[in-house]
Amino acid sequence: MADIVPEILISQEQIDSKVAELAARISADYAGVDDLIMVGILKGSFIFLADLSRALDIPRSVDFMALSTYGDSESTETDGAVRMIMDLRRNITGKHVLVVEDIVDTGHTLSYLLRNLAARRPASLKTCVLVEKPDRREVYTQIDYLGFSIPDVWVVGCGLDWAERYRTLPYIGVVHPEQNG
Ligand code: PRP
């Protein structure tokens, strides 16, 4: 079945410009830090993390965790239950850690993650998120570096999927799951 072409919500140019802006802020804030550990949350963060990490001009390394809220179904709802599928390889105790996420929706994933990582006593723990949906928030989550706030629509592209489709779209687009089966 051929995919439909999602309508553009945030263009590739807007994303490129925002990544450059965030990278400049992060590079300035962590100037002097000899190893910033960027923690990407799979799968959704892989494209944002790749772009952001390459735009930094400070020493950095990347590691990954895999968490899941939505399972593998095509459901667009979540009950807030978070599962860890894969942990970090590195010990982050005493290290500066920046969590990189594609989206904060209800906030349960990032909230769980920050509690989990804080218990490992990093030197610092901050978050960088490409898009958030404030209307969907159920729990408070700390977002230190934010790309875009968006309305409550189903977005795809730049790592974001709908039932594993559209992750590699170079812009953030909107799909309508009820019309898109
Ligand atoms: C998405 C996204 C976040 C999480 C946010 O992951 O990447 O990790 O949901 O949702 P929340 O704020 O409501 O907790 P998903 O579980 O869809 O997995 P994926 O990254 O592999 O697509």
Instruction: Give me ligand 1 centre to Cα 27, in Å.
Output: 26
Instruction: Give me ligand 1 centre to Cα 45, in Å.
Output: 9
Query: Residue 82: what pLDDT?
Result: 87
In the annotation, is 161 catalytic?
A: no
Query: Residue 181: what pLDDT?
Result: 56
Instruction: Give me ligand 1 centre to Cα 160, in Å.
Output: 9
pLDDT (mean) for 172-177: 92
- Segment 119-136, tens digit of pLDDT: 999 999 999 999 999 999
Ligand 1 binding pocket (C-beta < 6 A) is: 41-44, 67-70, 78, 101-109, 161
pLDDT (mean) for 40-59: 97
Query: Residue 68: what pLDDT?
Result: 75
Contact between 64 and 86 under an 8 Å Cβ cutoff? The reply is yes
CB count, 10 Å around CB of 85? 10
Global pTM value? 0.92
pLDDT (mean) for 145-160: 97
Q: Atom of ligand 1 at shortest distance to CA of 41? A: 8
pLDDT (mean) for 163-178: 93
pLDDT (mean) for 63-90: 75
- Segment 96-105, tens digit of pLDDT: 999 999 999 9
Return the ∠ at Cα 58 (arms to 93 and 18), rounded to 5°.
105
